[in-house]
């Protein structure tokens, strides 16, 4: 049976809940909720197990904080013997407009410390990521304040359907693979 690892990046703790940087956690929660999967605290992560048709997968929210996300990804990838092509990382992206969703099967981490730590830990950037645009409406020097800031009411109206779209993209990745999913959803 094929096994997949879906990882939503974010930071644990109430002070980070519902912040732009935690969109990966928000999408992971939406996916688990749609499938009736419940999170439990496990090693390096909150983890939920789910199935889609004949596909089994883990949904992770690392407890290592963003900058050490690779630790949780590597542990669960090794423990569950999940190949790189069956890993999907959901992350925020300031280089995409709010709500834009883009899937890639490789690439650099750019300025994203969570992605960079995963690349350093896995010794490769050849894994799929779903980048969720959070926009970049901040003054020079205030990037950290922006990404750790909470969503505005106007943002939330845009986010709800985009979170649902992200869950659809993840389902497609599991059932159809990255190439078909990118063809179906990128630039839509």
DSSP annotation string for 145-159: HHHTSBPPHHHHHHH
Q: Which of 78, 103, 101, 76 is nearest to 89 (CA)?
A: 103
pLDDT tier, 110 (very low <50, low <70, confident <90, very high otherwise): confident
Give the fold, CATH level 3, of 3-185: Rossmann fold (3.40.50)
Q: What is the pLDDT of residue 186?
A: 83
Lowest mean pLDDT among 42-51, 58-67, 86-95, 137-146: 137-146
Residue 105 CB partners (closer than 8 Å, separation 6+)? 126, 127, 128, 178, 179, 182
Percent of the chain surpassing pLDDT 90:
70
Residue 43: pLDDT band by 50, 70, 90 thresholds?
very high
**Residue-level pLDDT at 176:** 93
User: Is pLDDT larger for residue 151 or for residue 117?
Assistant: 117
Mean pLDDT of the residues in the chain: 92
Q: Name the band, by pLDDT with cuts 50, 70 and 90, for residue 188.
A: low
Once rounded to an integer, what is the mean pLDDT over residues 113-133? 93
Which amino acids are annotated catalytic?
21
- pLDDT at position 107: 86
- Does residue 91 have a pLDDT over 70? yes
Mean pLDDT along residues 57-69:
94
């Amino acid at each position: 049976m094929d096994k997949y690892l879906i990882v939503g990046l974010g930071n644990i703790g109430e002070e980070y809940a519902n912040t732009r940087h935690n969109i990966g956690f928000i999408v992971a929660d939406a996916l688990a909720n749609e499938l009736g999967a419940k999170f439990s605290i496990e090693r390096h992560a909150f983890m939920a197990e789910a199935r889609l048709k004949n596909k089994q997968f883990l949904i992770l929210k690392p407890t290592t904080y963003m900058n050490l996300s690779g630790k949780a990804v590597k542990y669960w990838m090794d423990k569950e013997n999940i190949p790189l092509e069956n890993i999907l990382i959901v992350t925020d992206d300031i280089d995409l407009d709010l709500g834009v969703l883009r899937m890639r099967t490789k690439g650099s981490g750019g300025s994203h410390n969570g992605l960079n730590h995963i690349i350093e830990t896995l010794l490769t950037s050849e894994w799929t990521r779903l980048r969720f645009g959070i926009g970049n409406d901040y003054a020079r020097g205030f990037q950290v304040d922006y990404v750790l800031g909470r969503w505005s009411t106007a943002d939330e109206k845009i986010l709800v359907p985009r979170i649902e779209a992200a869950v659809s993209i993840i389902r497609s990745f599991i059932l159809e693979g990255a190439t078909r999913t990118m063809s179906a959803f990128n630039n839509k």
